Amino acid sequence: MHGKDYNKQIAKRQRVKRTTLVIGMDIGNEFNAMCLMNKDGEVLGKYSRIYNSRKGFNFFSKIIEAMKKKKGFKDVLIGMEPTGHYWRKIAYFGKDKGYEVRFVRTTALRHQRELDESSSAKSDIRDAVTIANITREGKYIDTVIEDGVFRQLRTLAHVRERIQRYNTGSKHALRAVLDDYFPELNGIFWSMKSKGLWAVLENCPFPEDVKRLGQKELTELIAKSTRRKGSAAKKAAELYHAAKETVGLKQIGIADRYRLKMYLEEVKRSEAQLKDIEEEMKKLLGEVPCAKNILSIPGVGVLSCAVFLGELGNPSNFKSPKQIIKYAGYDPRENDSGQSIGRKRISKKGRWMLRKYLYFMSMRAIHRSKFFSEYYYSKLKSSNRFGQPLKKKEAICAVAIKLIKVIFALLRDNRMFTAKAPALALAA
């Protein structure tokens, strides 16, 4: 453990005072197990079933307040493993009551369980005790529970990610249909989002339909849907010729038409949903004053900014760019032992969606900003600890780290990105 990390660990441990009631919770779908503990690790109470209901939550609060009164505790620190989505109800209830809620990693729980019990045996109440011990020792994650606009942005980001996956699957399914019946369409319309392609698939989806409609009507159809009259005639000619020479399946039945219609509707519906979500994100960003600073960076759009802030939460919770780097999982993971020196890799322990979008933001920034472009190519010319040149992905990860430092500096100083602004990152 590095010196700064060790000092941070000490600071977390010192946060637990004699007046702090430490609670470990093993989260479940129907009920949760709870252990109450003091600073010295003395177990003050075990409760195997705190139900996820109003009665259960009131019982939960009653136990805590009674223990505070009995032992003279002034504050409450709750540690829990964020299992699925089950943790949200009890965590936000605790937050509303004024309790501090923190999370522990699954890996930390598993390792500590083996140390405490000399086995990997698991039970809800045993895990609650283990989580309480981990929390008491300050080995919890720095994540702060967010509410308000930042939680709304994060919710939209995750909804969008699910719809995006569905959209991608629908496009692959639609392309598979075209490969069967009209493979030449994939060469004429390269994008599954093309309005011209949608118009053709709605009105004349199969080669026999195209031939029946005729080249003149095809031109009018494409021109009306795409608003590009100049290229409509060329597209129509290509389409009509392809319909005559197609190698697709000839026998088209009701089921084939239904199959194509359903996949096309799925693509259109999911595309509309994605557009709506981005509009909602844009509205929410209007409520975040610091969003304009991030949007001033070339290559950073509404979607990227919304996901970044939704996954990060309130930037004021972070005191240095290194905290954000670690939170995103871009901190280096060393693999050295004795005389053996391993290759450095990013830890990937943080928020995966934050890491993913920072990578996308970095690629766009490289193309649209001279500052980030120069930094990227300078990294490509540099070498790693083995004297080998950096790979492209490694260089982009380096740009992502630089981007985090620039964003931190812009937010800290309430500045917009300019040609001189990146120099601020050196002081971050």
From the candidate CATH numbers 3.30.420, 1.10.357, 1.10.287, 2.130.10, the one assigned to the domain spanning 152-281: 1.10.287
pLDDT at 1 over 90: no
**Type of residue at 360:** F
Q: Which residues neighbour 88 within 8 Å (Cβ) at sequence distance 6 or greater?
A: none
User: Is 310 in contact with 156 (CB distance < 8 Å)?
Assistant: yes
Q: How long a stretch of residues is the chain?
A: 428
CA distance 241 to 233: 12
Q: Which pLDDT belongs to residue 54?
A: 96
In 52-148, where does DSSP find H-type helix? 54-71, 87-96, 106-117, 124-136
Separation of CA 360 from chain center: 12
Segment 78-96 mean pLDDT: 90
In this predicted model, what pLDDT tens digit does every residue of 190-203 receive, in sequence order?
Answer: 889 999 999 999 99
Q: What single string gives the DSSP state of each residue in 261-273?
A: HHHHHHHHHHHHH
Segment 306-323 mean pLDDT: 94
- The pTM (predicted TM-score) of the whole model is 0.85
The band of 7, judged by pLDDT with boundaries at 50, 70 and 90, is low
Q: Which pLDDT belongs to residue 118?
A: 46
For the chain, the structural domain boundaries read 3-145, 152-281, 291-427
Lowest mean pLDDT among 337-346, 347-356, 371-380: 337-346
CA distance 232 to 241: 14
The band of 93, judged by pLDDT with boundaries at 50, 70 and 90, is very high
Residue with tokens 């692959």: 172
From the candidate CATH numbers 1.10.260.30, 3.40.140.10, 3.30.420.140, 3.40.50.2300, the one assigned to the domain spanning 3-145: 3.30.420.140
Segment 370-374 mean pLDDT: 94
The band of 247, judged by pLDDT with boundaries at 50, 70 and 90, is very high
User: Is 67 in contact with 22 (CB distance < 8 Å)?
Assistant: no
Q: Which pLDDT belongs to residue 107?
A: 75
3-state SS assignment for residue 182: coil
In this predicted model, what pLDDT tens digit does every residue of 274-296 receive, in sequence order?
Answer: 999 999 999 999 999 999 999 99
**Type of residue at 30:** E
In this predicted model, what pLDDT tens digit does every residue of 117-141 receive, in sequence order?
Answer: 544 556 889 999 999 999 999 888 8
Lowest mean pLDDT among 15-19, 45-49, 72-76, 157-161: 15-19
Separation of CA 280 from chain center: 17
Q: Which pLDDT belongs to residue 58?
A: 96
Q: Which pLDDT belongs to residue 14?
A: 80
Lowest mean pLDDT among 56-70, 154-168, 184-198, 354-368: 184-198
Lowest mean pLDDT among 200-214, 226-240, 289-303: 226-240
pLDDT at 224 over 60: yes
Q: Which two tokens stand for residue 61?
A: 């609060």
Residue with tokens 């977390």: 12
Q: Which pLDDT belongs to residue 421?
A: 60
The band of 69, judged by pLDDT with boundaries at 50, 70 and 90, is very high
The band of 335, judged by pLDDT with boundaries at 50, 70 and 90, is low
Residue with tokens 């139900």: 51
User: Is 305 in contact with 291 (CB distance < 8 Å)?
Assistant: yes
Element (H, E) at 4: helix 3-15
pLDDT at 250 over 80: yes
The mean predicted confidence, pLDDT, of the chain is: 90
CA distance 367 to 378: 14
> Which strands, in side-by-side order, build the sheet including 75-80?
43-51, 31-37, 20-26, 75-80, 100-103
pLDDT at 341 over 90: no
Residue with tokens 């472009």: 373
